[in-house]
Chains A and B, each alone.
Chain A
């Protein structure tokens, strides 16, 4: 009980404070949260892609297709598990597990708030870069273990692409780390919490620092992270028209869903890295410009208001649904969903108002924690929408064009940004 309560007053993450109970709780929350986000992303991707292509996407399974991801998950779970005959069974089984492990281990160091992280390692960024480069191994073993030429070529191409864009990603990250060393006391840091605190101390998001250097570094990382996760327009290795689904051709049912889970988890992880390094992490907009208790309270109401707004949109969907008998159950379902969202929003607003007027430590720190996590997840959600937008808009890169961009365009630009950032940082 003491371990449970001591977290609310502490100023450190559970890992650093040695609070194993809360570290385990956070790990569990991360697993559950990533699963929920992947389900939402699945639905969102199909609906948003459909609306981009002037159609409406799944509408039948639940109201506005809201139960479609659950139906897909059920189908995948009950599919037959096919293993090619000459395939290496142990390696075939292990390949999705490796990819999933590499994607999920990154979440240990991602800071959702100043104390809302599993732990804060001193070499957080180094650890993140290293573990995300282990994901390549999952793809390579998957392609080889399938014992078929489409997966092998897809795996080799995918791993060549990922390795090439890792270099540009690393250099962009290093130029962001350089900016952390421009604090008043002159020490830089590799820890993720330290990077956001450096942005807090310097009073500027690193994307706007030394304009346009921070912006170019951020854009290089944004392009490299799309290539790292094999998403469009860099998704040649898993494109259906080119390689019949590439390295996961021979995987069916639950194993394929493990790959998809790993891919979405990797997307969220690299977006979280980009948010931490350049977009100020958990900080609300304008913490220095619009400071003061009134503005703090205004921005603290946003989490609850967002959910109430989402509930309102869902209620609008209820109102606009045709009133035939066929749609009755969908109207009822959507109305319940709208009420649930609005209820969640109301709960958050109640916590915020309670923190404003009471003095209890646990409510105040809970409200602050919810606000930090909300702003972080809002910025990550913008990145997720961008991923879907890229997929809807841009055609695929051919493989030689892809490698050319990675080595001949991104690498020199990132080197140049690094050198110029170092020079400008020393002069100013």
Chain B
């Protein structure tokens, strides 16, 4: 990131906060997939979501960061915690937590990671170049510009997303009825 900043957006101690937030995100991600207790996993996922939201703030995307906090951490995770409480079985904690095929899964994931790292290595020169100077789209007017794009270029996708949410609401209500 070069230092042609939009007015009023001087970054402070950027490498420190980047390493702190990404370390927290990856550590909590590890906790999510390894905890025996589902509530601990959910709390670790909340920490991950908040760290990723902090990373969005650092990437000059305050609107996406705000949406992440409101929708993901404040809405979806509450839903997860509700469901965990509803399906909480005592015997589940004492059973086996990992699949019988866990070596295969782990090998597949490591192969995926190796693929990613090789792509990054080959394309290192592409990603390293200095980013374009910050336009005023990333400054104090970010929310307004995202709104203009949502209601301008992506109006059709916006309407379909609202339809998707309506279908999801109906689906969730019907799925959990005892007698349809």
A and B touch in the complex (CB under 8 A): yes
**Interface residues of A, Cβ cutoff 8 Å to B:** 16, 18, 88, 90-91, 94, 121-123, 126-127, 129-131, 133-134, 136-137, 140-141, 144, 152, 156, 159, 163, 166, 187-188, 190-191
Given contacts A88-B37, A133-B73, 8 further A-B contacts (CB under 8 A): A16-B8, A91-B39, A122-B62, A137-B73, A137-B74, A140-B85, A141-B39, A152-B85
B118, CB-defined interface residue at 8 Å: no
- A156 close to B82 (CB less than 8 A): yes
Interface of A (DSSP majority class) = helix
Q: How far is the CB of A403 from chain B (nearest CB, A)?
A: 14
Q: How far is the CB of A224 from chain B (nearest CB, A)?
A: 15
Total A-B residue contacts, Cβ distance less than 8 Å: 76
Q: How far is the CB of A32 from chain B (nearest CB, A)?
A: 25
- B40 close to A91 (CB less than 8 A): yes
Report the 5 A-B pairs with minimum CB-CB distance, sorted nearest first.
A133-B74, A130-B69, A126-B66, A130-B70, A122-B140
A159 to B46, CA, bound (A): 16
- A163 close to B69 (CB less than 8 A): no
**Interface residues of B, Cβ cutoff 8 Å to A:** 8, 10, 12, 37, 39-40, 43, 46, 62-63, 65-67, 69-70, 73-75, 77-78, 81-82, 85, 140-144
Minimal Cβ-Cβ distance residue in A for B73: A134
Known: A91-B39, A94-B43, A133-B75. A127 touches B81 (CB 8 A): no
A residues less than 8 Å from B37 (CB atoms): 88
A94 to B39, CA, bound (A): 12
**Most central of B70, B75, B142, B144 by chain A CB within 10 Å:** B70
Minimal Cβ-Cβ distance residue in A for B140: A122
Known: A94-B43, A133-B75, A141-B43. A188 touches B144 (CB 8 A): yes
A129 to B63, CA, bound (A): 13
Q: How far is the CB of B109 from chain A (nearest CB, A)?
A: 28
- B69 close to A131 (CB less than 8 A): yes
**Most central of B43, B65, B77 by chain A CB within 10 Å:** B43
